[in-house]
Amino acid sequence: MGHSHHHGHHHHVHPEAGDRRVGGAIAVNLALTAAQIVGGLVSGSLALIADALHNLSDAMSLVIALAARRIARRPADAAMTFGYGRAEVVAALVNYTTLILIGLYLGYEAVARFFAPEPVLGWIMVWVAGLALAVDLITAALTWAMAKDSVNIRAAFLHNLADALGSVAVIVAGLAVLAFGWHWVDPVVTLGIAGYILWMSLSEIGGVIRILMLGAPPGLDTDAVLEHLRGIDGVGSVHHVHLWQMQEHAPALDAHVAVPEGRWSEADGIKARIKRSLADRFGIGHVTLEMECAAHACEGANAIGH
């Protein structure tokens, strides 16, 4: 159990370098968007312009992620006494929400196409999708290492992954129509991708909501933490415990600790022991304790919450 939650911090990308990567990904997506809009206007292809909008939505998800990264690094101030770290969690919530909407829309489109197949434009579509796929893969390569470590970048990364899958679908469907005249391939593949996007987004958004709801860190067993607390020498009883995450990798704990009668003189030592023990055992770096003498401890208090 011990040190499992310091996961992923060994391959840290330097913040500035990380910003440059995300900035590069935004630039690539915007360049492609512009190229597709020009191409669409010249060739009269609505498909090209539709694809440009996809890449614009990718660029937007990356812009949101980059802005959140930069805000998150601000130090705490009078307005935000906990600091700005959660900006990344809020950005992830925004990006997952839009991704869920995209998934639902794709599913709706696919079902509609089963009943009214749309003509596929053959080779032009395949080439455009190939180009879009290349850009999405470049974006994925730029953000892959950071996505493992950051819920914020992961959300933007999944936007791009969803788009890459969309391009693959177009290529597969286009080739199927060109080679065999199979129009059903397009909606089938699209439906599969919509399902995948929804499955990914819904499984990821839970963790984001949990942080914003001040839920206990998923890697920590609250009962185990309580039991460990109660077992520390000098802890008579524990109540009003709150265990939450300040941001993605920063577990925090608040508690009232009653010191046994006759040991009040050791209160400072006991407090230091508790903090050291929680940091070593569970990686909880932010611990706030209210020490009470057992004789005057809160009567009938709940172990958890208020």
Report pLDDT digits (tens) over 7-37: 444 456 788 889 999 999 999 999 989 988 8
Task: Decide: 235 and 270 in contact? Cβ < 8 Å.
Answer: yes
AA letter at 275 = K
Q: Half-sphere exposure (CA, 13 Å, Cβ side) for 263?
A: 17
Interval 131-149: pLDDT, tens: 889 988 999 888 998 998 9
The confidence band for 40, taking pLDDT boundaries of 50, 70 and 90, is confident
Sheet holding 286-293, edge to edge: 237-245, 251-259, 286-293
The confidence band for 126, taking pLDDT boundaries of 50, 70 and 90, is confident
Q: What is the pLDDT of residue 4?
A: 44
The CA distance from 85 to 75, in Å, is: 9
AA letter at 236 = G
The CA distance from 277 to 245, in Å, is: 18
Q: What is the pLDDT of residue 120?
A: 60
Greatest pairwise CA separation for the chain in angstroms: 87
How high does pLDDT run on average in the chain?
A: 87
- C-beta atoms surrounding 61 within 10 Å: 27
Does position 122 have pLDDT exceeding 80, yes or no?
no
Task: For residue 147, give Cα distances in angstroms to 39, 71, 131, 193, 290.
Answer: 32, 18, 23, 21, 38
Percent of the chain with pLDDT over 90: 53
Q: What is the pLDDT of residue 121?
A: 62
The CA distance from 111 to 188, in Å, is: 9
Q: What is the pLDDT of residue 103?
A: 93
**Domains identified in the chain and CATH numbers:** 2-212 (1.20.1510.10), 222-296 (3.30.70.1350)
Does position 117 have pLDDT exceeding 80, yes or no?
no
Does position 48 have pLDDT exceeding 50, yes or no?
yes
- Average the pLDDT over 171-186 and give the result: 82
DSSP summary character for residue 296: G
Does position 178 have pLDDT exceeding 90, yes or no?
no
Is 8 strand, coil or helix? coil
Does position 6 have pLDDT exceeding 60, yes or no?
no
Q: What is the pLDDT of residue 110?
A: 87
Does position 3 have pLDDT exceeding 70, yes or no?
no
Q: Which residues pair with 254 in a beta bridge?
A: 242, 288
pTM of the predicted model, to two decimals? 0.86
Identify the helix (H) or strand (E) that includes residue 251: strand 251-259
Does position 65 have pLDDT exceeding 90, yes or no?
yes
- Average the pLDDT over 35-47 and give the result: 77
Q: What is the pLDDT of residue 36?
A: 83
